[in-house]
Every structure is written in structure tokens, then in C-alpha cells.
Structure 1
Amino acid sequence: MSKTVVVVGASFAGLAVSHRLLKYTRQKEKNLRVVLVSPTSHFYWNLASIRAVVPGLIKEDQIFHPIEPGFSLYPKENFEFVYGSATSVDTDAKTASVAAPDGEKTLKYDYLVLATGARSANDDVPWKPLGSHEETVQQLRDTAKKVGAAKTILVAGAGATGCETSSEIKHKYGADKDVILLAADAEVMGGDVLASNMEYEMKKLGVDVRKNARVASTEVLADGRTEVRLVEGAPITVDLYLPTMGLKPNTGYLSEKLLNENKYVEVDEFYQVKNAENVWACGDIVSKPRAGFMITDKQAAGVAKNIELVIQGKAQLPVKLLPVDALMCAAGRDRGAGRIGNVKVFSIMAWALKGRTLGMPWAPKYVDGTQW
């Protein structure tokens, strides 16, 4: 009898779980069947979005890769790609409903993986997939066009995305564009250990870093410029406003009993979803302990292994994350800032590990499974 694993979401977490199950678990469970559900036909390597919004630096085929061909090496009876968006999950009936171009589909599962991630709090920026491949590509093109045309650019939010985006724009244009970065807190990066290093790199590029500056509201004026009103202080009028603050989990299709107070999926130490049988979750839909590329990969590895153990009737293992938390930030195309644990690294190391390529050579490997 076949065992069906439905994986909802085909970004970093969904691809990592699916390929691991098909490459490794399938060798032990020949009747394993993986059904991958995705609202987009292409995988978006959004780690490079901070550079892709600057015209002329990145080609689209470096960060967008078709998903389905990457699974062509697996037997057809073991894999199915379903193009559509999840609309609901019934954990009692063990079904997932999907809105597909050819109508509503109901997928039966034995095991379910929730990997629909999170989206940007503001839908006007391309830091995360917007919906379909075409929508995301168009949004990225539109943003890059606006960046190219703007003289004054305000980046709101001084987390990693905001700091990196400000640096990329200033690195490309120098004195030709004024770039303002607003930090809501007293320090950039929320006061992380690497905050002073990142601020040093940005200021060296000429980014105007303003701290304790929280956005209250924005308004697009008649001339197309944007007025940014702050909680305290005078408003700022700029040609382009790029918000980078916040994520919203893509959990609207799930029952409230599966979510915590912030609408993220609630999981235990096995990354099994609480209040549900044979359901796991990983990636930005969990954001535990935080949202992060390498953290997601470790979660996906643990989830795939636990599904295999459950199929075999064995006890699950607690998911092990990184032994030391690491964070690297690009500061333009030739510098960076980073830390391993609480130890800061040299700029050249952060550049080599992230800023040089932003991981883009890994993108095809995520799609075809050779990363694992």
C-alpha cells in the first residue's frame, strides 16, 4: 500500500523536504508518493532580492527556476506536482483542498507537511514571492525600474533586508542617489552583535542611517512621491519608499487550532504540528527560533527524517538545529558584516560566504535536489 506525503509549499522548506523524501526515504519505502503543491511554477531565490532590485546586476534566470523539471529524475509513480494554492486542510479527514487553474482539487494524505512560508508585511515589495511566478517577476521588474528612476530612496526597517538593500543601492549609484535607512530601534539589526560593523559598512558607502525613527504612516502624493510620517519628528518626502519590516505567515488556509497567537504554526520538538496527527511544519511558516535560510534547511532535514521514522513505526527524534547561530549580511558587492555565534567575522569572510554571490549558485541545486 502506498504512503502519500502531501507537501504544501515549494520554496526552501518544501523543496528540501520533498527531495529528501524522494532521494532517501523512497529507497527504503518503494511505495512512497510525494505530492508537492505550489502556487507558483518557479522557485524564487529571494535571498538575492536585495540585489535584484538594483537594475542591471542580476539576470532573472539566476534567481527564478522552474520547479517541476527538477523532479524529473524520480519515477512518475512516486511524485506529482500540483500547481495551485491551498485553501483548507482537514486534519480529521486527512485532506488538503487546493485551488488549481482547472478547478478545486481535494488531496488525500497519509502525512502532511506545511511549508507555505511567509510573505512580506507590505505587498508592494518583492522580498518574498507575491503569488504566481508572473506576478513576482513583474513586481521585481517594477521595483528595479523605480529604483533606477528615483533620486531619493527611503528604506524603512533596519533588519538584514533593509541594511542590505540600502547598501546595494548605494554601492551601485554612490552620490547619484540619496539613500535613507530608518531604524525603529536605537541600533540597526535590532542591536545584534554585528550591528556596529554593519552600520560602519553602510555609512562608509554613504547611507544616511537614522535611528529611533519609526514609521507611523505613508501617503503617495499627487506628484508620485511618497510622504513618510514618523511617530516622532518631521515627515520625510522621497521619490521611492521601500518598506522591509515584518513578515506575515501564509496560514490563512489553516484552522486556528493549529496556530499560535501570531498566526504561525505551533510545533513541538519534532516539528510535528500540535493538535494534529501526522502533520509537520517547517520554514518561515514556523519561524522558530527565527526565520532563516540555514535554519529552514535543518528543520526540513529533521521533518523528512521523522516522517520516515513514523512510516517505519519508530519513535521520532527531536529536530536538531544549527549548533551555533550564524548571520551574514552583504554590504554591497565587495564587503559584508557577520557573526558566528557572538563572534564577529572579518568583512571579507562575510563577503565570501554571502555577499559575493548571495548563494545564487545553490538555486538550481535546490530545484533539482543535488543540494542534498
Structure 2
Amino acid sequence: MGSLDMSSANAVHQVVIIGASYGGIPVAHGLLKDVFPALSAARKQKYKVVLIAPNDHFYWKIGAPRLIVNPAALPLEKLLLPIADGFKQYPRDQYEFIYAYATSIDPDKKTVSTSTDESVHYDSLVIASGTTFATPVWSTSNGLDALRADLAELHEKLPAAESILVGGGGAVGTETTGELGETFGGKKELTLLSGSTQLLPRLSNKKVGKDAEARLTKLEVKVIHGVRVTSYSKTAENKTAVKLSDGTEKIVNVYIDATGDRPNSKFVPEAWLDPRGFVKTDGRTLRLDVPDVQHVYCIGSVGSYSTGNVFDTKFAMKALLESIRLDLIGKRETSSSSIASLDPTPPGWIAWLTSWVPFYGSTETGTRKVFYKKFESDVQLIPIGPKQGVGVAFGWKMPSFAVVMAKSKDYMVSNAPKLVDGTE
């Protein structure tokens, strides 16, 4: 494979990134801060990042459970930060933001079409569009207006509500119900439908889910297993009629849907998607895993490699940037290369602690030193209100005080500005 040098010394190699959240923003900073400067100096080549997203603010959605229930403790302005502020540090000819949805990709023409009828050329393409939820409150994928409207309705209805039902016993549903229990426990009818046999069913350590249920019960939350929501609709009295999988119907003042997400991939060519609608991604290099397609990459929960965990975005960043660097200089590791011989990162907890350290190899060498190794053990922290929580790290159940110190107090919101400005 040859180098991607342009025919003219003044030509610009354009990297288009679709999505401006936990994946897209750090990729942009990584390219602009670490990859492009070294390559530009060595190869006399110009590079530019174009970020396309339907949101011009970054949403720290990790804190959404507390924002929904107790906005005084964690207001929206702390979770919703202008993306432009984080990119003022770069020259205008190196960075551009397009406020729009990506509507299609043309691999032959190497263009991305947008909802504003723009056709954006790419030389390299990063898909970091994430996932979307049934309700807008969990993300900005439906736009900022939808997010704000959903929040406004919940903030108006929750204080006066007599009955509140949460659907979904994963991390988001459990955290949200914990916030409800801390704020309204004993004052309102609070119910959580796990939709499974227990809470947090994806975790291999089943004690964590049982611990979460016990803590919610003490907060006077009723947890029901084996029943899920099949549909719901508004009633004439501005309540919600919820139909359940057992054939019954429940009328509640507020229903909060926390049942999971689906990939934002409607704009992606069908040949690039797996049967579930996720982008086919090489889990070691973060390149698109499609024959004869080059210089296309994917990171985050929209990728087939990901379990949806934030670690699959954060800790895969180095490998993605290394893949782009190698492809830009026209050198690529052979298919026979092994992870062990090319990745010097030590195993175990040392790898976890050091995996965020920037390393992209030397400018002109094609030797790969970074592959992504996905965690096989569970790593998850679940606040149950601000004063307690449950969690697991590498298979080991964590004590409540450790979860409180790491996440429960403020959902790690101090990291949001650092992600936006690239200093995380």
C-alpha cells in the first residue's frame, strides 16, 4: 500500500470524524495535538480535521441519572459544555465543525452527506456516532432541543408524581432508581422493572446485582424481575399507560425508559454493518473490518468490537490513532503480526493504569507498538444515590465507599471540561 501523500505539497489530507462525544472529540484532539504536528514537520504535508455532529455541545451523559432526579445537585450547565471552547487552541485551517446529522456515506466518491445538504470530502474517515436511546434524555443523538425538552418535562412532573416507574435493570436504570430512592424514597411509589432475572445481568459477578437490589429495597424501591415493558403511551390525564410482558397494564405518573440503546448507523453503507447494525470493526486496530476498504475507522459504542462500556472508547483511543498514523505514512503492519510481539504494554492492572498514556510511535517508522486489548473482566461502577454504590473491577466486587469516592459523589463531572479541551 502506498503513501497517502497528496500530489501537491499544498494539498490537505482531510480526516472527517462523525460524532462529537466520548469518541469523536478525543480522536480530534489526538490527531491535532499528537499525530498531525509530527507528520506535518517530517513530511511537509497539511492535515485537517472536520468534525460532524448534530450537537455543538458535549453532554456528560454519565451524570444523567442525577440530572434527571436532582438538577439542583448536578445542573445541566455542568454536564453540557460548548465544543467550540475546546478547539479554540487550533488554527482555523486545521479544524472545522459542521453542525448537522450525517445522512449517508459514499465510499466511491469518499464523501459524507449531511442534513444541511453538504457533501463533505474525506481522505480518512472515523465513525464515532455512538448509540441512541428510546428517550432523548440519555444522549444528544436526537439533538439538544429534544434533550432539553425531555429534561424539562421530567423536572416538572417528578416532584408532584405519586408513582414513578423505571424500565430497565442495567446500569442506567439502576443508577436512576437509586437517585429516585435517595430523593423520594418513602414519599412516592417507586418501581424498577429489571426485565431480567436480576439487576445488572451483564455482569459476571452476580453478587453485585443482588447488592444493588438490597440497597434499593432499603430506599423503599420495589424491584420486579421477569417483567419488561412492551409499549407505553400518554393518557388523557397526562399520565403514562405502560403495557407489560405479563399481559397487564400499569398507569403511572412518570415512566422513565432506561431499557438500552441501538447504534447510530443508519447513514453507514449496509456492507459496513453487522447483522445487529453495528459498524464492522477490527477490535485490535479499530480499522473498518471490510475487505478492500482502507482509511476508514470506528471507535466507541457504534463499533462491533465494543460492549458499550466507556472503557471500550477511552482505552481504544491509542490503537485508533496509531492505525491512522501508520496509514498516513503508508506503512501498515502485516497480517501475521502478533499482539504479543508488537504491544509492549504489561498485562493486568499495570496495563489499565498506563493505557491512557499517549504513544503513537515514531513519525516515519511502520513498526506498530499499540494494539487494543479489550478487557475481558467486568469493570463498572454504579452509584445508588450520592452516599453509596456497587461496583466491580476486574471481576472483584468493590466496596461501597470506593464507588462513592470514584463516582457516586458527582458522577466524575470534573472530567467533562478536560475531555472537551483535550486535557483529560
TM category (shorter chain) comes to over 0.9
Whole-angstrom distance in 1 between the partners of 2:376 and 2:124: 28
**Deviation at 1:145?**
1.9
Structural RMSD (CA): 1.7
Match of 2:29 among 19, 22, 26: 19
From the superposition, tell whether residues 19 and 191 of structure 1 become closer, same or farther in structure 2 (CA, over 3 Å).
Answer: closer
Q: How far apart in 1 are the matches of 2:262 and 2:376?
A: 27
- Distance apart, 1:253 and its partner CA: 0.8
Q: Give me the whole-angstrom Cα distance separating, in 1, the residues matched to 2:376 and 2:421.
A: 27
- From the CA coordinates, give the structure whose radius of gyration is larger: 2
Q: Distance in 1 between matches of 2:162 and 2:406?
A: 31
Structure 1: gaps (5+ residues) = none
Using the TM superposition, give the Cα deviation of residue 223 of structure 1 relative to its aligned residue in structure 2, in angstroms: 1.8
1:284 Cα offset (Å): 1.5
Segment of structure 1 superposing worse, 189-198 or 111-120: 189-198
Q: How far does residue 216 in structure 1 lie from its aligned partner after superposition?
A: 2.6
- Alignment check: 8 A CA contact 1:270 1:306 kept: yes
Confirm or deny that 1:293 pairs with 2:310.
yes
Partner deviation per Cα, 1:174-199 (whole Å, 9 max, x = no partner): 21122100011111111622111211
Alignment partners' CA distance in 2, 1:133 and 1:226? 24
Aligned to 1:78: 94
For the pair 1:214 / 2:228, whether they are aligned, the reply is yes
Alignment correspondent of 1:53: 68
Within the candidate set 315, 320, 323, 1:306 is matched to 323
How far has the Cα of 1:343 moved from its partner? 0.8
Residue matched to 2:238: 224
Aligned match of 2:274: 260
- Is 1:190 the counterpart of 2:207? The answer is no
Counting only pairs closer than 5 Å after superposition, residues 128-143 of structure 1 correspond to structure 2 as: 128-143=139-154
Q: Counterparts in 2 of 1:1-372, with a 5 A limit?
A: 1-30=11-40, 31-55=46-70, 56-100=72-116, 104-120=117-133, 122-123=134-135, 125-190=136-201, 192=203, 193=205, 194-232=208-246, 234-268=248-282, 269-275=284-290, 276-286=293-303, 288-316=305-333, 318-322=371-375, 324-371=377-424
Residues 66-87 of structure 1: per-residue CA shift (max 9 Å, x gap): 0012111112221111111111
1:298 touches 1:322 (CA, 8 Å); kept in 2? no
Deviation at 1:331, TM superposition (A): 0.4
Structure 2: distance between partners of 1:185 and 1:247: 16
By how many angstroms is 1:307 displaced? Answer: 0.3
* Deviation (angstroms), 1:322: 4.2
Cα pair 2:391 2:398 within 8 Å, conserved:
yes
Aligned residue type for 1:256: E
Q: Which moved more, 1:143-152 or 1:343-352?
A: 143-152
Residues of 1 paired with 2:402 and 2:78: CA distance? Answer: 23
Identity %: 30
With normalisation by structure 1, the TM-score equals 0.94
Specify the SS of the correspondent of 2:190: strand
The residue type paired with residue 23 of structure 2 is A
Q: Moved runs in structure 1, 4+ residues, more than 3 A?
A: 321-325
- Matched residue count: 366
> Structure 1 stretch 155-164 or stretch 285-294: which is displaced more?
285-294
Once the two structures are superposed, what CA deviation does each residue of 1:301-327 show, in whole Å capped at 9, x if it has no partner? 321221011112222553233475411
Cα gap change, 1:63/1:191 in structure 2, threshold over 3 Å: closer, same or farther?
Answer: closer
Q: CA deviation at 1:246?
A: 2.1
Equivalent residue letter for 2:329: Q
Name the amino acid aligned to 2:49: V
Note the alpha carbon deviations across 1:244-283, whole angstroms, 9 max, x for none: 1121211111111010111111112322113332100111
Q: Which moved more, 1:205-214 or 1:135-144?
A: 135-144
Give TM-score scaled by structure 2 length. 0.83
Contact 1:167 1:202 in 2 (8 A): yes
**Alpha-carbon shift at residue 217 of structure 1 (Å):** 2.7
Q: Please give the secondary structure, in 2, of the residue aligned with 1:10.
A: coil
